[in-house]
């Protein structure tokens, strides 16, 4: 009887393994098909049976893609905005987070609560006023309309404040001050190097968010030459005669850097993206 | 002498925090706080966007009254609620047992498995939605091909549709199609949340329960689930807030217009169209505040629901 019990338990645990494994494969399947379809023509993608392995139409698809839109330019803008956004966010949020964690000043708690409250605010609230502000500033079709507002990241401030508080002892700052180290060089020579792992996490998250951003460019970028990649890909979609092969090639190129980043740093990324939740 | 001069320029510790914070605070006020106030102001104004900002006119509650009488606004709210539920509830029903199983049974493979489930969360929604719109194609889209293959199997076949489904153009199927993508994208995020919560449950509770002869099912029901309750509350709240903001997946799958019979039009899409397709920024702002009230109310409601349950146990 006991043996039978153990056998059924083993059987059910194997079934669970199988289920979890199949689920994991299903989660990855869309990525697989994106890369497979990227190497097939439109007619091949919609034939029976559908293509299951890499084909040889990648370059042909790329040619269609570059003839339909300024693809490399769009890719360049995506990269430019993502890098600028990451650099600004890292600078401003590390400075701000350091101030919140290490200094006492007026309205500190009130200001921090206000910043945290905006983190919970739904993104659609800012859609319309942001467009009008950008219009007033004359920033429509300007990449800075994408990376400057993004640098005021509430999440970035939260992450930086947490890591300063967790990794930098107050005594260390005091000792440096005693030794005559100026406030700015304390930040530059002590705080920034110690924050490196957290800066890496925030940098990755900011880069990915900017690379994937769709609503931002949708609202402020009006001419196809200024589109970022997601917006450009979307513009290729039409009710009839969509060039699916080329569209898949573009999507795969937009997705590949993310897959590589994720494979290289999945643990750091996963814990970074869920810090707010777990702590 | 030179050193003394240099010292004079030195930042004092009293002034330093203000200087460190100023770039962030400046941007935060201009692009974080001001848009909110501006949007509230806009909700009470009307004007022709072509004639400039000076042409604005105060109209009182008119924009709100218009929104509340607008058939499409209500329809979009219903769509959004449907999508939030149909994509949100299964996420948690799947993520909780999945996290428990990964927590208890996966050793060295754990990171790989978690990574596979989490990866959709970091990828471009647009690229993914484009891929899915090809998978959902009526003729020879992969999903219909698989379904027609399954319909050949005896017994199971009866449950499968006999004709190719026009997923993206049929008002009845566009919502499940969108919900599937949202589910796929966020289930791994929830698995990670629950895994983190599971790690905080002390192992000796389970050991003691095993000694007392509690079955695995009883352990799950009486130890694991109650311990996960705060995280369930948190995860469900995030899903509610996120689900009610749904924009990109539905926008791409319906070609930016909301689909036939507006069946795939979420409220976020509708307020985007109200502003940028129909040029009514006042009504769009009023709608965004109405939706915000719904989000706030639901967050408060989930909060209450979970805290009353807590006091019973």
A222 touches chain B (CB under 8 A): no
SS3 A231: helix
The Cα of A225 is separated from the nearest Cα of chain B by a number of Å equal to 19
Q: Is residue B169 part of a domain?
A: no
The answer on pLDDT for B4 being more than 70 is: no
pLDDT one-digit tens code per residue, A117-133: 888 788 888 899 999 99
Best probe of the A interface among B34, B46, B128, B130, by most A CBs < 10 A, is B130
pLDDT at A45: 82
CA distance A31 to chain B (A): 8
For residue A102, the model assigns a pLDDT of 92
Q: What is the CATH number of the domain that holds B294?
A: 1.10.3720.10
Is the reported ipTM for this assembly greater than 0.90?
Answer: no
Percentages helix, strand, coil for chain B, rounded to the nearest 5?
75, 0, 25
Name the residue facing A270 among B35, B141, B192 (closest C-beta): B192
- φ/ψ region of A181 (left if φ > 0, alpha if ψ in -120 to 50, else beta) reads beta
Is B27 in contact with A152 (Cβ distance < 8 A)? yes
- If contacts are CB pairs under 8 Å, which of residues 238-267 in chain A contact chain B? 238-239, 244, 247-248, 250-252, 254-255, 258-259, 261-263, 266-267
Q: What is the dihedral of CA A262, A267, A269, A273, to 10 degrees?
A: 140
A53 touches chain B (CB under 8 A): no
* Least confident segment among A234-238, B101-105, B148-152, B185-189: B148-152
**Taking the CB of residue B101, how many other CB atoms lie within 10 A of it?**
16
Contact A234 B252 (CB under 8 A): yes
Min Cα–Cα distance to chain B from A113, Å: 13
* Domain limits, chain A: 69-235
pLDDT of A279 reads 46
| Mean pLDDT calculated for residue range A273-277 | 70
Q: Which of A21, A82, A122 has the highest number of chain B CBs within 10 A, making it the mutation to test binding with B?
A: A122
Q: Which long-range contacts (CB under 8 A, 24 or more apart) does A73-79 make?
A: A73/A225, A74/A224, A74/A227, A74/A228, A74/A229, A74/A231, A74/A232, A75/A229, A75/A253, A77/A143, A77/A226, A77/A227, A77/A228, A77/A229, A78/A211, A78/A228, A78/A229, A78/A230, A78/A254
CB neighbours of residue A245 within 10 Å: 27
Residues on chain B touching A25 (C-beta within 8 angstroms): 116
End-to-end CA distance of chain B: 73
Length of chain A: 279
Compute CA A63 distance to the chain's CA centroid, rounded to the nearest angstrom: 28
Cα(B32)–Cα(A114) distance, rounded to whole angstroms? 10
Residues B7, B10, B13, CA angle at the centre, nearest 5°?
A: 125
pLDDT at A276: 61
A105 φ, ψ (degrees, to nearest 5):
-155, 170
- Candidate from B16, B121, B247 with C-beta closest to A183: B16
CB A82 within 8 A of CB A149: no
B24 assigned to some structural domain: no
Q: Copy the structure tokens of residue A19.
A: 């289920």
State which residue of chain A sits closest to B12, comparing Cα positions: A183
For helices A2-37 and B71-105, give the axis angle rounded to 10 degrees: 130
Average pLDDT of chain A is 89
pLDDT of amino acid B1: 43
Residue B1 inside a domain? The answer is no
Question: What pLDDT shows up at residue A35?
Answer: 93
Chain B residues whose beta carbon lies within 8 Å of the beta carbon of residue A255: 123-124, 127-128
| CA neighbor of A270 nearest in space, from B246, B87, B120, B236 | B120
Two structure tokens written together for B44:
């009470």
Task: Give percent of chain A with pLDDT exceeding 90.
Answer: 61
CATH 3.40.50.300 fits A69-235, yes or no: no
Mean pLDDT for the stretch of residues A235-264? 88
Q: Is the dihedral of CA B150, B151, B153, B154 positive or negative?
A: positive
Q: Regarding predicted confidence, which is higher, B194 or B107?
A: B194
Site from B121, B127, B298 to mutate, A interface, most A CB atoms within 10 angstroms:
B127
Assigned token pair, B281? 């920024």
- The pLDDT value recorded for residue B116 is 92
Higher pLDDT, B2 or A69: A69
Cβ neighbour number for residue A140 with a 10 Å cutoff = 16
Contact across the interface for A132 and B23, Cβ inside 8 Å: no
- On whether residue B65 sits in a domain, the answer given is no
Q: What is the mean pLDDT of chain B?
A: 86
Task: Indicate yes or no: CB of B36 within 8 angstroms of CB of A121.
Answer: yes
Is A173 at the interface with chain B, CB within 8 A?
A: no
pLDDT value at position A4?
Answer: 59
Average confidence (pLDDT) over A211-228: 94
Q: What angle do CA B183, B188, B194 make, to 5 degrees?
A: 115
Q: What is the per-residue DSSP string for A26-95?
A: HHHHHHHHHHHHTTS-HHHHTSSSPP-S--S-HHHHHHHHHHHS-HHHHHHHHHHHHHHHHHHHHHHHHH
Is residue B311 over pLDDT 50? no
Provide the CB-side half-sphere exposure for A232 (13 A, CA): 28
Kindly state the tokens that stand for B86.
Answer: 């149909």
Domain span at B110: 71-135+174-312
Q: Which chain B residues contact residue A176 at CB under 8 A?
A: none
Task: Assess whether pLDDT exceeds 60 at residue B273.
Answer: yes
Most distant CA pair in chain A: distance in Å? Answer: 79
Contacts of B271 in chain A (CB under 8 A): 124, 127-128
Radius of gyration of chain B (CA): 26
What pLDDT digit, counting tens, does each position of A29-66 carry?
A: 999 999 999 999 888 888 777 888 888 889 989 999 99
Cβ neighbours for B141, distance < 8 A, ≥ 6 positions apart: A46, B134, B135, B167
Query: Given a cut of 60, is residue B167 above it in pLDDT?
Result: yes
Domain-located, residue B16: no
Which pLDDT does position B46 carry in this prediction? 86
pLDDT recorded at residue A2? 54
**A237 vs chain B: nearest CA distance in angstroms?**
8
Please state, for a pLDDT cut of 70, what percent of chain A lies above it: 96
Question: Please, what is the angle between helix B110-122 and helix B71-105, to 10°?
Answer: 160
Exposure string for B287-309, b = 16+ CB within 10 A, e = fewer: bbbbbbebbeebbeebeeebeee
Q: Place B238 in a pLDDT band, splitting at 50, 70 and 90.
A: confident
Q: Is the residue at B13 inside a domain?
A: no
Instruction: Provide φ and ψ at B62, rounded to 5°.
Output: -50, -45
Lowest mean pLDDT among A18-27, B81-90, B114-123, B251-260: B251-260
Residue B60 domain-assigned (yes or no): no
Provide the pLDDT for residue A236.
86
Structure letter (DSSP) for residue A123: G
Helix/strand/coil percent split, chain A, to 5:
80, 0, 20
Lowest-pLDDT choice from A153-157, B6-10, B22-26: B6-10
Contact A152, B28 (CB under 8 A): yes
Give pLDDT tens digits for B47-74: 777 666 677 888 889 999 999 999 999 9
Domain total in chain B: 1
Q: Of A240, A239, A222, nearest to A231 (Cα)?
A: A222
Q: Is the pLDDT of residue B36 over 70?
A: yes
The more confident residue out of B104 and A83 is: A83
* A5: its two tokens: 């019990």
């Amino acid at each position: 009887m006991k043996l039978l019990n153990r056998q059924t338990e083993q059987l059910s645990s194997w079934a669970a393994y199988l289920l979890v494994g199949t689920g994991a494969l299903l989660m990855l399947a869309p990525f697989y098909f994106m890369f497979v379809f990227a190497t097939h023509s439109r007619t091949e993608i919609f034939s029976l049976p559908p293509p299951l392995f890499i084909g040889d139409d990648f370059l042909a698809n790329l040619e269609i893609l570059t003839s339909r839109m300024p693809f490399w330019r769009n890719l360049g803008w995506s990269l430019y905005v993502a890098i600028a956004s990451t650099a600004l966010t890292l600078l401003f949020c590390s400075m701000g987070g350091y101030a919140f964690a290490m200094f006492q000043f007026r309205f500190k708690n009130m200001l921090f609560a206000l910043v945290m409250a905006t983190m919970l605010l739904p993104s659609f609230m800012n859609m319309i006023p942001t467009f009008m502000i950008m219009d007033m500033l004359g920033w429509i079709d300007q990449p800075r309309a994408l990376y400057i507002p993004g640098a005021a990241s509430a999440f970035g401030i939260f992450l930086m404040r947490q890591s300063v508080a967790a990794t930098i002892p107050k005594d260390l700052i005091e000792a440096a001050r005693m030794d005559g180290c100026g406030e700015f060089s304390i930040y530059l020579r002590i705080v920034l190097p110690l924050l490196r792992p957290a800066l890496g996490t925030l940098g990755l998250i900011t880069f990915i968010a900017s690379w994937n951003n769709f609503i931002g460019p949708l609202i402020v970028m009006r001419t196809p030459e200024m589109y970022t990649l997601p917006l450009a890909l979307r513009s290729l979609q039409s009710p009839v005669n969509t060039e699916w092969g080329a569209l898949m090639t573009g999507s795969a190129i937009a997705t590949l850097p993310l897959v590589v980043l994720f494979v290289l740093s999945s643990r750091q990324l996963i814990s970074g993206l869920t810090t707010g939740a777990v702590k | 002498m030179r050193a003394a001069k240099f010292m004079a320029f030195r930042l004092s510790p009293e002034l330093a925090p203000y200087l460190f914070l100023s770039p962030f605070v400046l941007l935060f006020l201009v692009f974080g706080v001001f848009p909110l106030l501006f949007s509230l102001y806009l909700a009470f104004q009307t004007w022709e966007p072509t004639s400039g900002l000076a042409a604005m006119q105060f109209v009182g509650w008119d924009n709100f009254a218009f929104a509340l009488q607008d058939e499409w606004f209500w329809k979009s709210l219903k769509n959004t609620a449907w999508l939030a539920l149909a994509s949100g509830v299964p996420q948690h029903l799947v993520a909780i047992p999945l996290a428990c199983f990964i927590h208890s049974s996966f050793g060295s493979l754990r990171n790989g498995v978690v990574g596979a489930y989490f990866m959709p969360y970091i990828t471009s929604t647009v690229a993914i939605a484009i891929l899915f719109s090809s998978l959902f194609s009526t003729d020879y889209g992969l999903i219909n091909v698989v379904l027609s293959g399954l319909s050949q199997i005896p017994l199971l076949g009866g449950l499968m549709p006999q004709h190719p489904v026009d997923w993206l153009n049929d008002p009845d199927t566009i919502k499940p199609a969108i919900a599937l993508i949202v589910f796929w994208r966020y289930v791994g995020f929830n698995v990670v949340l629950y895994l983190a919560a599971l790690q905080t449950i002390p192992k000796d509770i389970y050991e003691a329960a095993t000694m007392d002869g509690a079955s695995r099912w009883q352990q799950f029901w009486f130890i694991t689930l109650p311990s996960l309750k705060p995280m369930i509350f948190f995860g469900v709240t995030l899903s509610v807030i996120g689900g009610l903001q749904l924009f990109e997946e539905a926008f791409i799958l319906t070609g930016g217009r909301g689909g036939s019979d507006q069946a795939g039009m979420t409220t976020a899409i509708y307020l985007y169209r109200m502003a940028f397709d129909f040029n009514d920024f006042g009504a769009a702002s009023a709608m965004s505040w109405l939706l915000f009230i719904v989000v706030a109310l639901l967050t408060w409601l989930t909060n209450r629901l979970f805290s009353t349950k807590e006091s019973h146990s």
